[in-house]
Amino acid sequence: MIQEHKGKRLFITGIPASGKSYLAKTLAEKTDGIAVALDGLRMNFLKDDRYKQWILFYFNQDEAKYLTQTPPDELWNNVVRQSEELWPIFLNGIEQHKNETRPVIFECVNLLPHIAKRELYFPGLVMLGDSFETILDRNKKDPRWGKTEELQELEVKEFFYVQRPRYKLEAEKYGYLTFEHYQDALQEGSRLLV
């Protein structure tokens, strides 16, 4: 488990395109803190054989086949497995800020509630997104994986209908608040960082 840091800490997790990055940046601005996108660290470890398989896991799939033929539980289990396998990368990113006295907000899709409960001493928020249409619009503007609108819509079906209920169940099980709307999450995040 991470030892206590010098300043306030908060993590934000949840489904892709649910507003995690925007929320983290806004909270950092409001609190004179730092927003850290942990997901972005993984590509720095691409040459490390311990992590390469899981960094490239989705890119090594035939996306249409993977998203249409993989059962929902297996889709989720792969998110869990990737999150567990890449955790040392994210842990290292968190620990790099241990002496920072300003608030630090870590955001990461792979920081699942069960990992947070086991590894982190500080609070977190879980973003679920408010509607399929909102997530789809964001995914089209900033594609996560697929190059075509058809693939981007398949992705969002997986995000919204497979990942979303499982993030919610995990969050409830481990005592983290879930949010559909940005303003509610911003209010709670601000309160936690005061």
pLDDT of residue 79: 97
Q: Which amino acid is at 30?
A: K
Q: What is the CATH number of the domain that holds 75?
A: 3.40.50.300
What contacts 182, CB < 8 A, 6 or more positions away?
A: 19, 22, 23
Look at residue 3 and tell me if it is in a domain: no
Look at residue 49 and tell me if it is in a domain: yes
Look at residue 56 and tell me if it is in a domain: yes
Answer for the pair 7, 100: CB distance below 8 angstroms, yes or no.
yes
Look at residue 20 and tell me if it is in a domain: yes
Torsion over CA: 167, 172, 176, 179 (sign): positive
* pTM of the full structure: 0.95
pLDDT, tens digit, 9 for 90 and up, residues 137-185: 999 998 878 889 999 999 999 999 999 999 999 999 999 999 999 999 9
Look at residue 152 and tell me if it is in a domain: yes
Compute the average pLDDT of residues 87-115: 96
In the structure, what pLDDT confidence band is assigned to residue 191 with cuts at 50, 70 and 90? very high
Look at residue 1 and tell me if it is in a domain: no
Look at residue 4 and tell me if it is in a domain: no
Domains in the chain, number = 1
pLDDT, tens digit, 9 for 90 and up, residues 120-132: 999 999 999 999 9
Residue-range definition of the domain harbouring residue 56: 9-193
Reduced to 3 states, what is the DSSP secondary structure of residue 10?
A: strand
Look at residue 15 and tell me if it is in a domain: yes
pLDDT of residue 63: 94
Answer for the pair 107, 18: CB distance below 8 angstroms, yes or no.
no
- The one-character DSSP state at 70 is S
